[in-house]
Amino acid sequence: MLTTIIIPVLSLVAVFLFAVGKFSNQIRHTTDDKLRYYLNKFTKTPFRGLLVGTFFTALVQSSTATTVILVSIVGAGVMPFVNSLGVIFGANIGTALATQLVALKLSVVAPYIILAGYLVTNFSEKYKKFGKPVFYFGLMFFSLYLIGLYVEPLKDSQIINDLFFNVSNIYIAILFGFVFTAIIQASLVTSGLAVLLAGAGVLSFEQAIGLILGANLGTTTTALLASIKLDVNAKKVAMAHFLFNFLGVLLLIPVYGYFVDLVQKIGGGLDQQVATANILLNVLTAMIFLIFIKPFRKLIDLVVR
């Protein structure tokens, strides 16, 4: 039974990654100049930068894409480093919003989105350029929907239960999420799977949150690698992204019990609670860093010289 589940799930993860890449490329291809323009224009204050980071990351469905673009823009001297900080804070929120769509079962209407995208692409010259992004957007969530169907029986698998039994605390789950995300370079996959597996009863709340925290850390590796051959300001952007996520994890650990209580009071099924926790965590962390943005900037200046 395990083989008949895992192979299709891995195949669907590949489809999901393909769809995410295609969707992101389509959006960036059609709005690349505008994206750069608006990133630069509307990031004069950290809060405005946060809103821009949230919007564009939700649009392209990838915090990695947002931060890599930031690294290149700042490295090219188009945007000052300080303007990038708010965008970095908003990038995680944008990804968390996408995870919330998974919990809200957007995947149920995904086939209709796919069909609409196909029809627009092939039968409407005027709106043809919007058809492909719509198609790939639907494909992302349809693949997640199919993954959810396949993972449902895993809650009764002794092998899977033994595997996740070893992920016995949040620290191991964070490490697991970090390594997995660093390999596949898509935090939305990890966080989406965490929501689906929690909803299927395979993961506990603590394990799912740990995977998402690890995903937030794992997704920073791409920008770090992209900045290696660029100037010091580009390196500061990549380091700011990493430290923002790393310090966010450290801030959560001491108040984790209170955080869980808050999420449980909000209510919902376990999958909804995990998605809500992801949004709350990233919004609260962003607010804290907005308040302490000057010390954070000084910290980056000290780390990256």
DSSP string, 57-101: HHHHT-HHHHHHHHHHHHHTTSS-HHHHHHHHHHHHHHHHHHHHH
User: Between 6 and 259, where is the model more confident?
Assistant: 259
Phi-psi region of 203 (alpha: psi -120 to 50; beta: other; left: phi over 0): beta
Q: Where do the domains of the chain lie?
A: 2-109+145-303
pLDDT at residue 143 is higher than 90: no
C-alpha 73/C-alpha 68 separation (Å) is 9
Compute CA distances 61 → 113, 137, 233, 298, whole Å: 16, 9, 25, 30
pLDDT at residue 31 is higher than 60: no
C-alpha 150/C-alpha 9 separation (Å) is 7
Q: Token digits for 187?
A: 């935090």
Q: Tell me which residue of 301, 186, 181, 224 sits closest to 68, measured CA to CA.
A: 224
C-alpha 252/C-alpha 39 separation (Å) is 29
Residue 126: what residue type?
K
pLDDT at residue 252 is higher than 80: yes
Express each pLDDT in 186-240 by its tens digit.
777 788 888 878 887 778 888 889 888 998 898 888 788 778 777 888 889 889 9
Q: How far is CA 302 from the centre of its chain?
A: 28
Q: What is the pLDDT of residue 158?
A: 59
| Residue 168 backbone phi and psi in degrees, to 5 | -85, -15
pLDDT at residue 273 is higher than 70: yes
Burial 207-224 (b: 16+ CB within 10 A, else e): bbbbbbbbbbbbbbbbbb
Average of per-residue pLDDT across 39-49: 80
Q: Tell me which residue of 110, 115, 107 sits closest to 138, measured CA to CA.
A: 110
pTM of the model: 0.75
From first CA to last CA, the distance across the chain in angstroms is: 54
pLDDT at residue 21 is higher than 80: no
**CB of 187 closer than 8 Å to CB of 97:** no
Burial 2-29 (b: 16+ CB within 10 A, else e): eeebbeebeebbebbbebbbbbbbbbbe
**Angle at the Cα of 196 from the Cα atoms of 192 and 202, rounded to 5 degrees:** 130
Q: What is the pLDDT of residue 300?
A: 92
Q: Token digits for 89?
A: 């804070």
Q: How far is CA 249 from the centre of its chain?
A: 15
C-alpha 118/C-alpha 135 separation (Å) is 6
Q: What is the pLDDT of residue 166?
A: 62
Express each pLDDT in 170-179 by its tens digit.
888 888 888 8
The DSSP string of 9-57 is HHHHHHHHHHHHHHHHHHHHHHHHHHHHHHHHHT-SSHHHHHHHHHHHH
